[in-house]
Structure 1
Amino acid sequence: MAGAYDDRDGKIWMDGKLVEWRSANVHILTHALHYASSVFEGERAYNGKIFESVKHSERLHKSGELLDMPIPYTIDEIEKAKYDVLKANGWDDAYVRVVAWRGAGEDMGVASKKNPVRMAVAAWEWGAYYGDAKMKGAKLDISKWKRPSPETIPCHAKAAGLYMICTMSKHAAEAKGCSDAMMFDYRGYVAEATGANIFFVKDGEVHTPKPDAFLNGITRQTVIGMLQKRGITVHERHIMPEELEGFEQCWLTGTAAEVTPVGQIGDYTFEVGALTRDIAESYEKLVRS
């Protein structure tokens, strides 16, 4: 499937029913468009099964709670909607996007209690998020923007508003010929990429930033479990910028990114080593099992 995302054939689930792709629209005075009152999930289906689907639906509910925006559908209803979309479009392998938002209603200021919470599920066929970087290693810029303090925004929600600095960071990275950007948090610790968590390898052990100011990704949790089953020590901790020079390998994790090796971050280089390749290949087998 190609072309603009608003001009395609297919079906999208919206507010309880399947509608034609081009008819899945909202009003210009939708609250989320003006105030970012929106949460979402990104998921992948492999061989007709959405990987960790229920965990994603549960996190959507939690994100809604954190934004004072209760999702009006049960976990079971969300699960059915996702699979209805896959079936309606005839896809076994696809990216699935569930989004919930405050719609248009009686409120059009900051407050939105009088406006309905709406939900939609769309899906599309999507290849490797970083293209051929999955083989040779992605090149990352270092963003000037930092992940915010938990005192400023509910950082553990998968909320649309949290991604604006990610968009700007990725634009700046692409302008330099990079695939993505690595971000520090508000304290100056290594945090994550714009849409993926990050891992490092040194002396056979794995180090990954402590998710106390950014989203603890479902793929991240899966990969940590895979490493621990192999008996590999995983350190979840605060990582200082100067430590980047001493790491030997690096990879990103995320639903879209899956497991993507990193070859360079700024002036620091990493090998696409055996452990990185093993985890990437093992993750691919796991999600298709």
Structure 2
Amino acid sequence: MQAETIWMDGTLVPWEQAKVHVLSHALHYGTAVLEGTRAYGSAVFRLDEHLERLYRSAKMIGLAVPYTMGELRAATLETVAANGLESCYIRHLVHRGYGELGIAARTSPVVVSIAAWEWGALLGDRALRLMTSSWRRNDPSTLPTAAKATGPYLNSVIAKNEALDAGYDEAVLLNAAGYVSECTGTNIFVVRDGVLSTPPSSAGALDGITQDTVEQLARDLGVPVTRRDLLRTDLYTADEVFVCGSASGIVAVESVDGREIGAGPLTGKLQDAYHAAVEGLDDRYHHWRTEYPLGA
């Protein structure tokens, strides 16, 4: 996993020296936002969209990012290039650091870091067995689920562990109204009668960049796409189900709560289209790739 250097507040520091204080505010209260991005073939995929969401998330939880988007864009490319990584996972983190330890902690500094390392597909490449979690997705009226913030991820952690302990690969989280929201780190899609559907952000789902990518790829394949509320029974009766995220790509689903999902062609077509887009094999999506020189 380990690369050579991590970017921290304007400086590339050795991996083992990239440390924070044990009394950092984010460690105690979850006051941080993050992004997970990937590079393929010396190009970061949809970097600008990820950085834009990072700034939106920070604004939602009251963090003022002390760098411009242009500065973080350049820092991202500098980090992956300096580590000699042609393909990798990239983690942006903006957190409230060491200072005042009260709840508000308005005087605590805001720290920014960028790390990159080689990391395979998070969920592997085989079809997944999903279970509906007993835990509900965070409610937008309680926490800003539109923000990719660290604190709310405890919801995903306990749901994921519940699924693993029960012998499944991943958990599906329902919202307070009983509608499907998302999985613990991915958006979810269903295919039925040739139509592709995914839960809207109003269901508590993160407005996913890979989710958006899949929707655009599907439309270019002539597939109707909709965002709508889904019940768990919509998963059971779907022709196909798959999940997607920057860390995992597009992964087919084999079953949900023990109900087998029929194998279908659209998931495979979208996987092929996604691979072509991220690897730069389809010129229509070249604008999604930000290239960088290795060894810079």
TM-score by length of 1: 0.94
Distance in 2, Cα, partners of 1:148 & 1:130: 22
SS in 2 for 1:171: helix
1:159 counterpart residue number: 149
2:187–2:243 CA contact under 8 A, matched in 1: yes
1:149 counterpart residue number: 139
1:223–1:279 CA contact under 8 A, matched in 2: yes
Instruction: Give the one of 13, 19, 23 matched to 2:17.
Output: 23
Distance in 2, Cα, partners of 1:96 & 1:267: 34
User: Which stretches of structure 1, 4 residues or more, deviate above 6 A after TM superposition?
Assistant: none
Distance in 1, Cα, partners of 2:233 & 2:40: 39
Instruction: Give the one of 262, 277, 283 matched to 1:271.
Output: 262
SS in 1 for 2:173: strand
Q: How many Å apart are 1:243 and its aligned residue? A: 2.2
Distance in 2, Cα, partners of 1:9 & 1:278: 34
**AA of the residue aligned to 2:232:** P
List per-residue Cα deviations over 1:49-72 (Å, max 9, x = no partner): 110001111111111100011111
1:204 matched to 2:197? The reply is: no
SS in 1 for 2:205: coil
1:192–1:198 CA contact under 8 A, matched in 2: yes
1:219 counterpart residue number: 210
1:172 matched to 2:166? The reply is: no
Distance in 1, Cα, partners of 2:110 & 2:179: 36
List per-residue Cα deviations over 1:98-122 (Å, max 9, x = no partner): 00000011x2110111011100000
**AA of the residue aligned to 1:166:** S
Instruction: Give the one of 87, 105, 120 matched to 1:127.
Output: 120
Instruction: Give the one of 169, 174, 183 matched to 1:184.
Output: 174
Distance in 1, Cα, partners of 2:125 & 2:249: 13
2:248 counterpart residue number: 257
1:93 matched to 2:84? The reply is: no
Identity over aligned pairs, percent: 37
Distance in 1, Cα, partners of 2:235 & 2:279: 33
Distance in 1, Cα, partners of 2:119 & 2:3: 15
Q: How many Å apart are 1:21 and its aligned residue? A: 0.3
Distance in 2, Cα, partners of 1:146 & 1:91: 38
1:280 matched to 2:271? The reply is: yes
2:235–2:241 CA contact under 8 A, matched in 1: no
TM-score by length of 2: 0.92
1:75 counterpart residue number: 69
1:109 matched to 2:102? The reply is: yes
SS in 2 for 1:150: coil
Distance in 2, Cα, partners of 1:169 & 1:245: 20
Q: Note the aligned Cα RMSD (angstroms).
A: 1.1
Q: Structure 2: which 5+ residue stretches go unaligned?
A: 281-296
Q: How many Å apart are 1:145 and its aligned residue? A: 1.2
Instruction: Give the one of 8, 16, 30 matched to 1:14.
Output: 8
Query: Structure 1 residues 9 and 193 mapped into 2: Cα distance closer, same or farther (>3 Å)?
Result: closer
1:118 counterpart residue number: 111
Structure number with greater CO (CA < 8 Å, separation at least 6) is 2
Q: How many Å apart are 1:228 and its aligned residue? A: 1.4
**AA of the residue aligned to 2:187:** N
1:9–1:22 CA contact under 8 A, matched in 2: no
Q: How many Å apart are 1:132 and its aligned residue? A: 3.4
1:230 matched to 2:221? The reply is: yes
Distance in 1, Cα, partners of 2:219 & 2:133: 31
List per-residue Cα deviations over 1:170-193 (Å, max 9, x = no partner): 111112222211111121101111
**AA of the residue aligned to 2:13:** V
**AA of the residue aligned to 1:170:** K
Count of aligned positions = 279
Which stretch of the first structure deviates more once superposed, 279-288 or 169-178? 169-178
SS in 1 for 2:144: coil
Distance in 2, Cα, partners of 1:150 & 1:214: 9
1:249–1:273 CA contact under 8 A, matched in 2: yes
Q: How many Å apart are 1:9 and its aligned residue? A: 5.2
